[in-house]
């Protein structure tokens, strides 16, 4: 299924990089580096230059932290989305939120995609997507509510649980009027999962791709990479890129990333090995 977000359509010949821009003072990796307006816009400009197709703007840290109400989340994200839309008219803009009231204002300001990483905790997000024509990410958290960490999560088969959950959410969203070509599914590595679960999801990602829904993966510098290699967030780039290459080969379409340039190069190389993208230059042994 082709994926259409904003004015862009994504298929196997253009795997999409989703750049992360956190409007939070306490994000796990950048520790607030893009909390200020100027720094955030510079990050967007740099991401576009480095090959990002989508920029994902979030105003609340995913894990435990200070309470951030809807009004503060809107203040952190919505005016900035309007500025990004004016500055980069062709860029796909995503709002990373689980709240319908935030999503509604974000779309009004120019967002094209609702990136719900909390598995439909607010059912109103579907209504917003159906009413506005925005895309929607359907995710899996093992039943955890927003901003909670997993503890002793167990599944008879984690991949089967993910597939049942995200495809069910996608089908219900489509039935409610959300565009089918604007729906993505996300196995949501680390959310409601331990490291073994996230590794198995990566290894078996082809089973999720086989459902026909476009797959988004958010792998960048996550704990499962750090625990696998025994490394802190600052040293997880190589592990992230290895997981990215495997996920691309197995059929994922959108890749949420802190390191845009490196991710873009990995995805282009995988697409060329698969035969979906021609080399940028092909002179060797031909001239």
Neighbour-count burial of 47, counting CB atoms closer than 10 A to its CB (0-12 exposed, 13-18 middle, 19+ buried): buried
**190 near 149, Cβ under 8 Å?**
no
DSSP label at residue 145: P
- Domains of the chain with CATH codes: 13-274 (3.20.20.20)
Percent of the chain with pLDDT over 70: 100
SS3 164: helix
- Mean pLDDT in residue range 179-202: 98
- From the centroid of its chain, how far is CA 145? 19
Note the pLDDT tens digit of each residue in 84-142. 999 999 999 999 999 999 999 999 999 999 999 999 999 999 999 999 999 999 999 99
pLDDT for residue 149 is more than 90:
no
Question: What pLDDT was estimated at residue 199?
Answer: 98
> Does pTM top 0.85 for this prediction?
yes
**84 near 110, Cβ under 8 Å?**
yes
Question: What pLDDT was estimated at residue 49?
Answer: 98
| Phi, then psi, of 113 in degrees rounded to 5 | -140, 140
CA angle at residue 71 from 37 to 58, to 5 degrees? 50
CA 229, CA 151: separation in Å to the nearest integer?
21
DSSP label at residue 189: T
**36 near 2, Cβ under 8 Å?**
no
CA 39, CA 82: separation in Å to the nearest integer?
16
Give the range among 59-68, 124-133, 168-177, 244-253 with minimum mean pLDDT.
59-68
DSSP labels, 60-105: S-SSS-S---HHHHHHHHHHHHHHHHHH-TTSEEEEE-S-HHHHHH
CA 23, CA 101: separation in Å to the nearest integer?
18
pLDDT for residue 29 is more than 90:
no
As a whole number, the mean pLDDT across the chain is 96
Give the range among 1-10, 28-37, 110-119, 259-268 with minimum mean pLDDT.
28-37
């Amino acid at each position: 299924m082709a994926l259409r977000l904003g004015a862009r359509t994504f298929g196997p010949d253009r795997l999409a990089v989703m750049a992360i821009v956190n409007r939070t003072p306490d994000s796990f990796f950048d520790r607030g580096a893009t909390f200020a307006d100027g720094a955030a816009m510079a990050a967007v400009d740099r991401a576009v230059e480095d090959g990002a197709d989508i920029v994902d703007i979030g105003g609340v840290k995913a894990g435990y932290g200070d309470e951030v109400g809807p009004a503060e989340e809107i203040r952190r994200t919505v005016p900035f989305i309007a500025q990004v839309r004016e500055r980069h008219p062709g860029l796909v803009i995503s709002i990373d939120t689980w709240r319908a009231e935030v999503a509604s204002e974000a779309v009004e300001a120019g967002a094209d995609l609702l990136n719900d990483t909390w598995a439909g905790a607010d059912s109103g997000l579907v209504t917003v997507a159906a009413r506005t024509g925005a895309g929607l990410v359907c995710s899996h958290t093992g039943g955890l509510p927003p901003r909670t960490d997993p503890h002793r999560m167990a599944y008879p088969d984690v991949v089967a649980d993910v597939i049942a959950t995200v495809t069910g959410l996608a089908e219900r969203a489509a039935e409610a009027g959300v565009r089918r070509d604007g729906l993505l599914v996300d196995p949501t590595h680390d959310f409601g999962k331990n490291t073994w679960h996230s590794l198995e999801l990566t290894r078996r990602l082809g089973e999720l791709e086989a459902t026909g829904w476009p797959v988004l993966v958010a792998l960048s510098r996550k704990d499962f990479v750090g625990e696998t290699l025994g490394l802190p967030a600052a040293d997880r780039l190589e592990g992230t890129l290895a997981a990215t290459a495997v996920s691309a080969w197995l059929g994922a379409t959108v890749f949420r990333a802190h390191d845009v340039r490196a991710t873009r190069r990995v995805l282009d190389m995988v697409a060329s090995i698969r035969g979906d993208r021609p080399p940028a230059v092909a002179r060797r042994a031909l001239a």
